Amino acid sequence: MKKYLTLENGDTFVGEACGDKTAEIDGELVFTTSMTGYQETVTDPSYEGQIILFTYPLIGNYGISMATSQSDSVTARAVVVREMTDEVSHYQSVLTMNSFLKQAGVPAISGVDTRQLTKIIRRYGTMKASLTNQPINQEETQTPNLSVIEEKKFSSQANSETKEIVLVDFGVKDNIVSLLQQENVNVTVVSPESTLQDIESLHPSGILLSNGPGDPTDWEAFVPVIQALQEKYPIFGICLGHQLLALANGAKTYKLPFGHRGINHPVKDLQTGKIFITSQNHGYAVDIDSIADTPLELTAIEVNDKTCEGLRYPGKPIFSVQFHPEAAPGPHEATELFDKFLNTVNGGVVNA
């Protein structure tokens, strides 16, 4: 069965339908350079509303396992690959990638020139696209429905000796919660619609602002809550949470031409000179020039394009990073940042 991928600029690619073959969708076409971790990628809430183009030519070769997903469902709207294989070789596999997408009602297209597609996005930037069962005209392409995430709930067993971390869920990945719980803290997840009073009623020891999809300015209503929280609690921002912390302190954000999506992005810590290889998934960034007029300090940059990758609030237990220290998928070089956050929760300082 044929499938048609029509870009906002009118380019059309014809391939074979896979996943949910009958489904037709609109979305924002983005690419990821990750060579592994396709299951984590398509279940990452930061991909809400997006069509994921995998630059790696073979997807599905180690199948799907039970404990690898980063949310309860496939969050991507569709998947584009060069080849989708049903020949699986992994002892933990219980399902093929093709079947996984089909069960989730998510369409996919294979057999297209993903190199050419990636070059188009790199040249013209992220764009809207439609995945259909018949050719369509340019004027028929609809605007993608980039809806906000649905609230999710996590819980852990609290006791009198554990610290209480309140995690504001803009599209949190499960591995963030898992890593925190491994540190023997209680994690309470709340939605961004929570008020300052809602959060304070939980008696937090620290606040984590999670990753999530889309434009950080869509969450401006929560900025005053962050401004109030940072006067009282240690805060750690990840990805979208990093951008929101910047907005709360007067910095600005902007849309990147084609974003950072992959698991091999080098980031330099400006305080130590250390280079981390990081997992990233975002389409917006903090404007470095705008940081000068804020109380924030730049702590890290992306080595390739020199974009902002880290911030801290000198004198306060507050810091943030643009990349995903929890990985899943990706390298684990930056997981020590969770220890750094918990150190601030226990009364430590962000940096000397």
Q: What is the pLDDT of residue 63?
A: 96
Number of other CB atoms surrounding residue 306 within 10 Å: 10
The kind and range of the H/E element at 281 are strand 275-286
337 is in an annotated binding site: no
Q: What is the pLDDT of residue 138?
A: 52
CB of 131 closer than 8 Å to CB of 51 = yes
Q: What is the pLDDT of residue 297?
A: 97
111 is in an annotated binding site: no
CB of 187 closer than 8 Å to CB of 156 = yes
Tell me, which fold does domain 163-345 have in CATH?
Rossmann fold (3.40.50)
343 is in an annotated binding site: no
Q: What is the pLDDT of residue 351?
A: 60
Q: What is the pLDDT of residue 25?
A: 95
Alpha helices in the chain (DSSP H): 38-42, 97-104, 114-124, 174-182, 196-200, 223-229, 240-248, 288-291, 336-345
Condensed to tens digits (0 to 9), the pLDDT of residues 195-249 reads 999 999 999 999 999 999 999 999 999 999 999 999 999 999 999 999 999 999 9
Q: What is the pLDDT of residue 150?
A: 35
Question: Could you tell me the residue ranges of all domains in the chain?
Answer: 2-140, 163-345
Concatenating the DSSP letter of every residue in 136-186 gives --GGGPPPP--PPPPP--------TTSEEEEEE-SS--HHHHHHHHHTTEE
105 is in an annotated binding site: no
Q: What is the pLDDT of residue 296?
A: 98
- Residues of the chain where predicted confidence (pLDDT) is lower than 50: 139-158, 352
Which pairs from 156-161 meet CB under 8 Å and 24+ separation?
Answer: 156/181, 156/185, 156/186, 156/187, 157/186, 158/186, 159/186
| Phi, psi dihedrals of residue 21, rounded to the nearest 5° | -70, -25
Q: Which residues of 59-76 are buried (b: 16+ CB within 10 A; e: fewer)?
A: bbbbbbeeebbbbeebbb
233 is in an annotated binding site: no
60 is in an annotated binding site: no
Q: Which residues are catalytic?
A: 239, 324, 326
212 is in an annotated binding site: yes
Residues of the chain with pLDDT > 90: what percent? 78
Question: What's the rounded Cα separation, in Å, for the pair 345 and 118?
Answer: 42
Token pair belonging to 246: 């910047």
CB of 45 closer than 8 Å to CB of 211 = yes
- Looking at residue 200, its amino acid is E
184 is in an annotated binding site: no
CB of 4 closer than 8 Å to CB of 132 = yes
Identical fold for domains 2-140 and 163-345, yes or no, is no
**What CATH number does domain 2-140 carry, 3.40.50.2300, 3.90.1300.10, 3.50.30.20, 3.10.580.10?**
3.50.30.20
The DSSP secondary-structure symbol of 328 reads S
The DSSP secondary-structure symbol of 262 reads E
Q: What is the pLDDT of residue 350?
A: 66
List Cβ neighbours of 77 (8 Å cut-off, separation of 6 or more): 25, 26, 27, 49, 50, 51, 106, 144
